[in-house]
Amino acid sequence: MARSTLAPAETAPPAVTARTAKTARTTRAGAPRSARTLRPRTLLIAAAAWLLAAGFLLPYAEMVITALRPADELRDAGYLPSSFEWANFVDVWRESHLGDNLRVTLLVAAGSTLLVLLVAVPAAYYTARVRFRGRKLFLLLVLVTQMFQPTSLLVGLYREFYQLDMLNSVWTLILCNAAFNLAFAIWILTAYFASIPVALEESAMIDGLGRGGALLRITLPLAMPGVVTAMIFTFIAAWNEFVMGLTLSTVPENQPLTVGINSFIGNYTVQWNFLFAGSVIAIVPVVVLFALIERKVVSGLTAGSVK
């Protein structure tokens, strides 16, 4: 990881990696004898994988079931409720701050993603292209940021934004989420930009485009897969962020969903059905988003970190 960040030029170009991956896949696919003669083995593998997949989904299935449980059946130990109470989703919306929480989460996730892109794209591009003085120092700074999680800085963050009188503000959460996701975005984008031939830009620059123009018109479109990966990772991280929301927002209507659902946990009783109705609303969009880019996740990780 440190290697790729400190020397992005050495990073394997994603295009090449994708090609080798494809070669590997076709080689494996091109060995049908193993698939044919080892049929029971394939079945065993499939069975194990399906079982594991079910295991990974189990907690979320239980959440959905609980979200649909009638309130008076929450203390029953049975696996399934006698009937599914779809009205829970309506009630939770009406009786809590969930709408506000969802709005905060959306604003924070979208805002910090946008901010990360605005800040990371130029920085990553310049770092990948130009050997300026202080480049090493800058990359070290980025690496150090990657190492420090908000959890370890909570007290400092709280004191800072308390003094700035910026607690309970969406802007604070946007700034914080952007800052802590910046390192990953710069790191992955630098690797992508470094893999795009300089010659393409040079000819554009000779034709009169400045560096900014070359970036916008030539390089950025080519680096789109990397940009999308960085975007989605940032969006999901900000969407699921908890500790900063918990610390920097103290009023229920200013809290993100991850913090807001905790209001269903009282001192003596927990409204589990409402709690999980809220959770399901928060989880489903992200899981769908993630599933859509499942293939890109592998190539994104390959470009950014592994090689």
Residues 93-122 that bind other proteins (CB under 8 A): 114-115, 118-120, 122
Cβ of residue 33: shortest distance to other proteins, in angstroms? 11
Binding-site member from 151, 197, 217, 224 for other proteins (CB under 8 A): 151
Lookup result for tokens 């701050």: 97
Nearest-approach distance from CB 252 to other proteins, in angstroms: 16
CA neighbor of 302 nearest in space, from 139, 198, 194, 191: 191
Dihedral sign, CA of 184, 187, 190, 192?
negative
Tell me the closest approach of the beta carbon of residue 253 to other proteins, in angstroms. 19
CB of 101 to other proteins, least distance (A): 12
* Residue 219 neighbours by CB distance under 10 Å: 22
Question: What span, in angstroms and rounded, lies between the C-alpha atoms of 14 and 195?
Answer: 7
The single residue listed with the structure tokens 């927002």 is: 249
Counting every residue written for the chain, the total comes to: 307
Does position 253 interact with other proteins (CB under 8 A)? The reply is no
Which of 15, 74, 106, 110 binds other proteins (CB under 8 A)? It is: 74
Instruction: Kindly state whether residue 9 participates in binding other proteins, applying the rule CB under 8 A.
Output: no
8: phi then psi, degrees, rounded to nearest 5: -65, -20
Q: Which is nearer to other proteins, 108 or 261 (CB)?
A: 261
Listed ranges 83-91, 96-104, 218-226, 286-294: which one lies at the site for other proteins (CB under 8 A): 286-294
x/- track of binding to other proteins for residues 170-189 (CB under 8 A): ----xxx-xxx-x---x---
State which of residues 9, 54, 90, 228 lies at the interface with other proteins (CB under 8 A): 54
Q: Which of 9, 71, 72, 76 binds other proteins (CB under 8 A)?
A: 76
Q: Is 42 in the site for other proteins (CB under 8 A)?
A: yes
Distances (CA, A) of 126 to 2, 19, 207: 19, 27, 20
d(CA 125, CA 70): 54
> Is residue 268 close enough to count as binding other proteins by CB under 8 A?
no
Query: What is the closest distance, in whole angstroms, from the C-beta atom of residue 96 to other proteins in the complex?
Result: 15
Residues 6+ apart with CB under 8 A from 223: 189, 192, 193, 196
By the rule CB under 8 A, 291 interacts with other proteins: yes
Question: Cβ neighbours of residue 40 under 8 Å, at least 6 residues apart?
Answer: none
Report d(CA 271, CA 263) in Å as an integer: 9
Q: Which CB sits closer to other proteins, 66 or 254?
A: 66
Rounded to an integer, what distance in angstroms lies between the CA atom of residue 176 and that of residue 197?
34
Which of 35, 71, 200, 224 binds other proteins (CB under 8 A)? It is 35
Q: Which stretch binds other proteins (CB under 8 A): 49-57, 84-92, 93-101, 222-230?
A: 49-57
